[in-house]
């Protein structure tokens, strides 16, 4: 088998892992979660949760990946060879989870691609606000168009992964992550300049602690996990590509800060415009596909050229964000097939595309011909989303931090985090980092998991 590929530099590591983290979780999920759960107070809890809980989990995952130098499937078995058969089941789960998420995540990617095409055709500017507002429901309930968009989107992402770690993932991330930040800043300039946008800015900056409750706390913690791609096997897999001389704490902190910054920027790109248009901020998952196009249509009568350009930039940003996340999900499955069965990257990508594409078609059709199929009151797509976010990711993240904290040798964890003692600052911080990984992170994850079934 060929020697394992590595990322070329620290910047490449941060870009690639930030690409995994910065995605639909930030630009699609974060704004509507903020709107549903209290505005600035949700943002504040989200920031604290990321730094104190999610970052230690992230460090644990990347440490496990680099120490084992294998995909998420074999990482735990390799680090605990005496009980390797026990960990094989966990390894299989770490491959199954990202592929499970990929099945419905790529459907959302297809939606964003369709909306980008509609933006380029100036449909949101030319159409009436009422027609634009009803577009999303009619689109996702149709049969063929959402399916074709899903498959096209997934095929492009699989092609990028097939090109390899450096030529595919690293090169794509280097180009798209800076471009995403430029796009989001341009959108912020437009959003905050709208009449009435100041109310949206205030909503994001001034916490109203009367909105604070247990549900707000739990959902902010859960969003932090979802946003950083924790429990998906992606960070463990990416960690196995990190060079031995790389500073894991700096790379992890850089990724978390990138992710935090982008999420907050996405909030400022969307919420001021939502308030300017007089739309309810708690509009839910359809916020960017219903409320935002409605804004572009409403503003189109007064500023048609500006609204047309901004709508294109907005949905371009969403497409790119979706691609960075989906690429990391595909990579977990491809790394498993390559290492376990010696399958070439292109063939492994093709197999992932066929399997996840087929299941994704079923998820897409659950809004149309299969909408009558309900399980515990949810259609197939919603069931996938709920089960992944509230069960699978939390269980996997809990397993990883428990493994790193209680199964791996403390000396091995210290060796990775301090680079054999050469990173003196990391050595000084190690006691605190290890405490967060071993005690704070698992207790917090377990609390989120249990509370999800109580609320």
Measure the CA dihedral 333/335/336/338, to 10°: 120
CA-based nearest residue to 264, from 19, 26, 52: 26
User: Three-class SS of residue 375?
Assistant: strand
Q: What is the pLDDT of residue 341?
A: 93
Reading the block at residue 120, the tokens are: 């380029």
Cβ neighbors of 302 (< 8 A, separation 6 or more) are none
Quote the CA–CA distance of 331 and 327 in Å, as a whole number: 6
Sketch the domain layout of the chain as residue ranges.
10-387
Cβ atoms of residues 243 and 72 within 8 Å: no
Tell me how many degrees the CA angle 416-422-427 measures, rounded to the nearest 5.
70
CA-based nearest residue to 126, from 311, 315, 316, 300: 300
Identify the residue whose tokens are 């088998």.
Answer: 1
Quote the CA–CA distance of 77 and 68 in Å, as a whole number: 9
Return the DSSP state at 83: G
Q: What is the pLDDT of residue 157?
A: 93
Cβ neighbors of 331 (< 8 A, separation 6 or more) are 161, 169, 234, 237, 238
375 DSSP β-pair partners: 378
pLDDT in tens, the chain (455 residues): 455 566 656 666 667 676 666 777 888 889 989 998 989 999 999 999 999 999 999 999 999 999 999 989 999 999 998 888 889 899 999 999 999 999 999 999 999 999 999 999 998 888 777 788 789 999 999 999 999 999 999 999 999 999 876 666 667 877 777 888 888 888 898 889 888 999 999 999 999 998 888 888 888 988 898 889 899 988 898 888 888 889 999 989 988 998 899 999 999 989 998 898 888 887 777 788 887 888 888 777 678 888 888 889 889 888 888 888 898 899 899 999 998 999 999 999 999 999 999 999 999 999 999 999 999 999 999 999 989 988 999 999 999 999 999 999 999 999 999 999 999 999 999 999 999 999 999 999 998 899 888 77
Q: What is the pLDDT of residue 4?
A: 58
Reading the block at residue 13, the tokens are: 């590591």
CA-based nearest residue to 11, from 211, 130, 178: 178
Query: Counting beta carbons within 10 angstroms of the beta carbon of residue 44, is it exposed (0 to 12), middle (13 to 18) or buried (19 or more)?
Result: middle
Cβ neighbors of 198 (< 8 A, separation 6 or more) are 192, 272
Quote the CA–CA distance of 248 and 229 in Å, as a whole number: 17
Phi, psi (rounded to 5 degrees) for 310? -65, -40
CA-based nearest residue to 11, from 134, 166, 197, 200: 166
Quote the CA–CA distance of 32 and 271 in Å, as a whole number: 9
Q: What is the pLDDT of residue 167?
A: 65
Quote the CA–CA distance of 357 and 334 in Å, as a whole number: 15
CA-based nearest residue to 176, from 394, 339, 342, 325: 325
Return the DSSP state at 264: H
User: Three-class SS of residue 378?
Assistant: strand
Measure the CA dihedral 312/317/319/325, to 10°: 180
Cβ atoms of residues 129 and 294 within 8 Å: yes
Q: Within 13 Å and on the Cβ side, how many CA atoms surround 79?
A: 32
Say which CATH architecture domain 10-387 belongs to. Answer: Orthogonal Bundle (1.10)
To the question of pTM greater than 0.75 for the whole model, the response is yes
């Amino acid at each position: 088998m060929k020697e394992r590929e590595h990322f070329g530099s620290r910047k490449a590591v941060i870009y690639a892992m930030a690409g995994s983290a910065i995605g639909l979780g930030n630009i699609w999920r974060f704004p509507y979660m903020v709107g549903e759960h209290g505005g600035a107070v949700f943002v504040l809890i989200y920031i604290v949760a990321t730094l104190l809980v999610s970052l230690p989990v992230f460090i644990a995952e990347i440490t496990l990946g680099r120490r084992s130098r294998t995909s998420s499937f074999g990482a735990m078995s390799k680090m605990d060879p005496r009980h390797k058969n026990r960990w094989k089941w966990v390894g299989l789960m770490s491959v199954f989870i990202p592929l499970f998420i990929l099945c419905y995540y790529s459907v959302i990617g297809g939606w964003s691609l369709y909306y980008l095409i509609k933006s380029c055709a100036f449909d949101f500017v030319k159409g009436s606000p009422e027609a634009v507002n009803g577009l999303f429901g009619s689109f996702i309930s149709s049969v063929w168009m959402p399916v074709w968009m899903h498959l096209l989107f997934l095929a492009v992402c699989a092609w990028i992964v097939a090109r390899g770690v450096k030529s595919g993932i690293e090169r794509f991330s280097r180009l798209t992550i800076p471009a995403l930040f430029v796009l989001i800043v341009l959108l912020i300039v437009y959003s905050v300049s709208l009449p009435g946008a100041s109310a949206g800015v205030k909503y994001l900056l001034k916490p109203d602690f009367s909105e604070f409750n247990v549900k707000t706390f739990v959902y902010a913690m859960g969003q932090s996990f979802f946003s950083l791609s924790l429990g998906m096997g992606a960070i463990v897999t990416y960690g196995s590509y990190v060079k031995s001389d790389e500073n894991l704490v700096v790379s992890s902190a850089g990724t978390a800060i990138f992710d935090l910054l982008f999420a907050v920027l996405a909030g400022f790109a969307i919420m001021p415009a939502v308030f300017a248009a007089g739309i309810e901020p708690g509009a839910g998952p359809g916020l960017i596909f219903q409320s935002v196009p409605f804004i572009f249509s409403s503003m189109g009568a007064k500023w048609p050229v500006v609204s047309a350009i901004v709508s294109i930039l907005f949905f371009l940003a969403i497409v790119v964000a979706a691609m960075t996340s989906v690429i990391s999900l595909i990579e977990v499955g491809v790394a498993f097939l390559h290492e376990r069965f010696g399958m070439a990257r292109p063939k492994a990508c093709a197999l992932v595309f066929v399997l996840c594409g087929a299941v994704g078609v079923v998820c897409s059709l659950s809004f149309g011909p299969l909408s009558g199929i309900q399980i515990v009151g949810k259609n197939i797509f919603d069931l996938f989303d709920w089960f992944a976010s509230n069960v699978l990711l939390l269980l996997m993240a809990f397993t990883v931090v428990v493994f790193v904290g209680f199964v791996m040798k403390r000396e091995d964890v210290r060796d990775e985090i301090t680079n054999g003692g050469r990173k003196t600052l990391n050595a000084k911080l190690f006691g605190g980092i290890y405490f967060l990984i071993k005690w704070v992170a698992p207790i917090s994850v377990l609390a989120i998991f249990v509370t999800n079934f109580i609320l």
